[in-house]
């Protein structure tokens, strides 16, 4: 068999599927949907991360400013108020970071001894952990602060203050009474405040605004 002319292979539609205009637009919309969803997730995560950073900065600033209220060496009730509130709002990791930042700033600016750290970080972390394990019980967060600061932090403060700070005449349980008293005062204030927020529904709204945004595919799963 012969041909009058050579076939135009360059313009031939070899191996290419043929779509109608409506079918092509339908397929294109399906391809674009995951891209729009991914962009939306990224924007929400960025906004959520920024909100958490702003809230953390507010807690740190507030903790530094109000820390002198009712403070004596070995007792800082307002620090425990911040610890419990931050732990309930943002979880143990952010509560720990908040306590560290407040402690370091107080030590650098106010000349506070290392009690600013030993009397805060353990309670803040345990407060968040206890709150999460109890599935949202505020009293558990307060209990975590009392155990973490009033007992663990107080005992750890002895070697820190003795061997690093050079203070004499201390014992292992020297700071326990004052630390427990401070946690009871600050924890009680936080307990009343958080209960009030929970009763009005504001606590849930704040927690929802600060928690991680799940990806769309995770929601679908």
Domains of the chain: 39-213 (1.10.1760.20)
The closest of 115, 99, 127, 136 to 211, measured between CA atoms, is: 136
pLDDT tens, 177-192? Answer: 999 999 999 999 999 9
Residue 219: predicted pLDDT: 44
| Higher local confidence (pLDDT), 164 or 6 | 164
Residue 42: predicted pLDDT: 54
CB atoms within 10 A of CB 209: 13
What gap in Å lies between CA 37 and CA 30, rounded to an integer? 11
- Please state whether the predicted TM-score (pTM) of the whole model is above 0.85: no
CB atoms within 10 A of CB 158: 18
CB 186 within 8 A of CB 81: yes
Averaged pLDDT score across all residues of the chain: 82
CB 120 within 8 A of CB 153: yes
Three-state SS for 72?
A: strand
pLDDT exceeding 70 applies to what percent of the chain? 75
Q: How many Å is the Cα radius of gyration of the chain?
A: 29
Task: Name the band, by pLDDT with cuts 50, 70 and 90, for residue 144.
Answer: very high
Residue 215: predicted pLDDT: 46
Residue 118: predicted pLDDT: 93
| Higher local confidence (pLDDT), 39 or 162 | 162
pLDDT exceeding 90 applies to what percent of the chain? 62
CB 122 within 8 A of CB 153: yes
What mean pLDDT comes out for the span 31-46? Answer: 51
Task: Decide if pLDDT at 52 tops 90.
Answer: yes
Residues 6+ apart with CB under 8 A from 41: 213, 215, 216
Residues 6+ apart with CB under 8 A from 212: 45, 48
CB 132 within 8 A of CB 103: no
CB 86 within 8 A of CB 94: yes
pLDDT tens, 208-220? Answer: 988 865 544 344 3
């Amino acid at each position: 068999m012969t041909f009058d002319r050579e076939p135009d292979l360059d313009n031939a539609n070899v191996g290419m599927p043929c779509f109608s205009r409506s079918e092509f637009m339908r397929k294109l919309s399906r391809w674009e949907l995951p891209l729009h969803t991914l962009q939306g997730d990224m924007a929400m995560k960025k906004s959520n991360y920024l909100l958490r950073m702003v809230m953390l900065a507010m807690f740190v600033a507030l903790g530094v400013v109000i820390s002198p209220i009712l403070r004596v060496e070995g007792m800082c009730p307002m620090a425990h108020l911040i610890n419990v509130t931050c732990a309930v709002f943002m979880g143990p990791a952010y509560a720990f970071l908040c306590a560290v930042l407040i402690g370091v700033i107080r030590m650098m600016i106010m000349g506070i001894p290392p009690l600013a750290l030993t009397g805060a970080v353990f309670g803040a972390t345990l407060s968040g952990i206890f709150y999460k394990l109890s599935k949202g019980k505020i009293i558990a967060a307060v209990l975590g602060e009392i155990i973490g600061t009033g007992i663990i932090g107080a005992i750890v403060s002895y070697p820190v203050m003795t061997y690093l700070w050079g203070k004499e005449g201390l014992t292992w349980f020297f700071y326990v009474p004052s630390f427990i008293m401070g946690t009871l005062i600050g924890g009680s204030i936080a307990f009343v405040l958080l209960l009030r927020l929970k009763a009005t529904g504001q606590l849930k709204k704040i927690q929802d605004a600060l928690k991680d945004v799940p990806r769309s595919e995770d929601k679908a799963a």
